[in-house]
């Protein structure tokens, strides 16, 4: 439907093809990252960016994000997509990440089967940093099962 292209130094541009040409702007309809996988999954990890979603996927989890990072609005379509699923929200460990979580939690509360907000206590900023600090997918599962704050 659309892409978000990363450029160096770190910047992002949304775009999509229409009429055989690339249009550099946000598509009128926004969907969750890796939507087909999300639709099929009973448990979905929700993180701030594509990098973290991909890192979780490498570890065997279904993970998604919304385009635009911490500043992007949380849309009702995202909530509808996640309704009835178990959602593990792992916010980035910074002010924008915590603000984003504060927006997402009330939107999902009561609409998903289970909501777990997981704060990965470590020196890094996000779940990718957490895995880089030599944590494993088994540790993450243990945290989800035992220490997450649940709905």
Region of 68 please: left (phi>0), alpha (psi -120 to 50) or beta.
Answer: left
Q: Is 31-150 assigned to CATH 3.90.230.10?
A: no
Would the pLDDT of 148 be above 50?
A: no
What digits encode the pLDDT tens for the residues 71-107? 889 999 999 999 999 999 999 999 999 999 999 999 9
What digits encode the pLDDT tens for the residues 101-146? 999 999 999 999 999 999 998 778 999 999 999 999 999 999 999 8
Average pLDDT over residues 46-55: 95
- The residues of the chain that CATH labels 3.40.1360.10 are 31-150
What is the value of pTM for the model shown? Answer: 0.87
């Amino acid at each position: 439907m659309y892409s978000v292209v990363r450029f160096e130094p770190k910047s992002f541009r949304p775009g999509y093809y229409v009429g055989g040409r690339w249009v550099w702007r946000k598509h009128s309809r926004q969907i969750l990252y890796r939507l087909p996988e999300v639709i099929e999954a009973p448990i979905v990890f929700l993180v701030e960016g594509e990098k973290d979603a991909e890192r979780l996927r490498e570890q065997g989890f279904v993970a998604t994000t919304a385009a635009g990072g911490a500043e992007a609005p949380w849309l009702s379509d995202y909530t509808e997509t996640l309704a009835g699923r178990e959602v593990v929200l792992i916010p980035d460990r910074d002010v924008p990440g915590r603000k984003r979580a504060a927006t997402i939690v009330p939107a999902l509360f009561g609409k998903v089967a289970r909501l777990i907000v997981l704060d990965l206590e470590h020196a890094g900023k996000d779940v990718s940093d957490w895995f880089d600090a030599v944590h494993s997918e088994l540790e993450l599962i243990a945290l989800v099962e035992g220490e997450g704050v649940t709905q």
